[in-house]
Structure 1
Amino acid sequence: MTNQALTQTTVAHVVTIELSGMLTVEDVRDFTRRINAALKQHDRIGIVVDVTQWSDMTADAITADVKAEFAMLPKLRRIPRIAILSNKQWYNAVVGWFSPMLFTTDVKVFDPSRAAAKQEAIAFASDIDGTANAPKQEPSIVLIPTDRDDLVAFEYHGHIRSEDLDVALVPLKERMDRNDQIDLLVRMDHFSGFDPSIMFKGGLLSLKMAALKKLRRYAIVGASDWMSGMAKMFDPLVGIEMKTFDVDQEDEAWTWISQSNGPSKTVST
């Protein structure tokens, strides 16, 4: 199988890859090296992948590709656009299903039967500054002041970004360090998911494990139906009192969280 660049372009921040025949481990390693090399040279890049002539991949290549995909998750924020040239219906369907989950990356499939498809794909992938002049984004996590040291409250806005995560993690850890148990209230404001890189945030897993031992009551305001279902399912399993509230029930949520059996302290200043 060959793994080679498309017709050379003058767009330095775009990695162009053409796959054909049988994909091997060496091919996976080759295009992974090329992507990583481009990320070292540029803050953000675009990628064009032509799979028109690709037919299959070896078992070892599948394993290597899965590992490469997971390793690339923390870097996806630096790859805002991926263009794919494909005439394979099953492949296009898979891309269509997965692409909405890549909140920081816009993926678009182009029909290679069109004469201008390759140039359109390159133009799409190269346009990584489409939001450069957009208004400054609101913080995705905001700390809500409380009058109890053993009560932490946050508001989540839309898509949770990795760079905002410390707004929640730092005060949560501090309160857990100072108290035997704490209560938590989270207000959801049009929550739409989170950056994949959050899963690789250092110390996050250990903090979650510690929270399972420290959390007493957990209130979620504005939870979606699936969140409410998950809360009901895990409530008896984790030993935490969890309750969800509609947006117009926020007063009830604060009342419920204030009726926790734990001690009430004034936040130290």
Structure 2
Amino acid sequence: MNFLEDVPVVRRIDTNRDDLFAVELVGHVRAPDVENLFGLFEAACAQHSRIDVLVRLVDHDGVDWADIAADTLKQGSAEAANHVGRCALIGESSWSNRMQGWLAAPSTVEIRHFPATGEADAWAWLDAHEKPADV
């Protein structure tokens, strides 16, 4: 086993806003990673009636959509429709298009895609910033 296989795919991003759920997705996203992501997302929704979301893709090389349980996707979509106001997707546009389709079905979520070079614009759109990591 390669030690890099143990690196978490889903990483929380600390921000200046309690009501902003921000994550970084690194590499290939498998079904267990999506389960982890949705668990974190549900916790954020439980803490706030309305939240904004920021998803940053890094070295993205695909999502195992076919391996993700239909109930998981349905429940995540319902949570998003009930709790998310704005969603900023940063990175590869083909993945963002799939996410936009999943999030937008019947909801009022305002979704914008930003290329990796436009990340500062995504943060500004959400009126937020990333907190520096404690070292």
Same fold at TM > 0.5: yes
Find the counterpart in structure 1 of residue 78 from structure 2.
209
Structure 2 counterpart SS, 1:174: helix
1:32 is matched with: none
Residue 3 of structure 2, aligned match among 125, 135, 145:
135
Structure 2 counterparts to residues 87-102 of structure 1, below 5 A: none
Question: 1:38-77 alignment to 2 at 5 Å?
Answer: none
Residue in structure 1 matched with residue 117 of structure 2 by the alignment: 248
Q: Which has the higher strand share?
A: 1
Q: Give the distance between the partners of 2:69 and 2:100, measured in 1 at CA.
A: 24
Question: What letter is aligned with 1:135?
Answer: F
- Which residue identity lines up with residue 51 of structure 2 in the other structure? I
Distance 2:54 2:36 in 1: 14
Q: What is the TM-score normalised by the length of structure 1?
A: 0.41
Provide the TM-score with structure 2 as the length reference.
0.75
- 1:236 offset after TM fit, Å? 9.3
Unaligned runs of 5+ in 1: 1-131, 260-269
Q: Using the alignment, how far apart are the partners of 2:95 and 2:32 within structure 1?
A: 26
Matched, 1:151 2:17: no
Q: Map 1:80-229 to 2 at 5 A.
A: 132=1, 134-137=2-5, 138-195=7-64, 196-197=66-67, 199-200=68-69, 203-225=72-94, 227-228=96-97
Tell me which of the two structures has the higher relative contact order, counting C-alpha pairs closer than 8 angstroms and 6 or more residues apart. Answer: 2
Q: Does 1:258 align with 2:132?
A: no
Q: Identity over the aligned pairs, expressed in percent? A: 27
Across the two proteins, how many residue pairs are aligned to each other?
A: 125
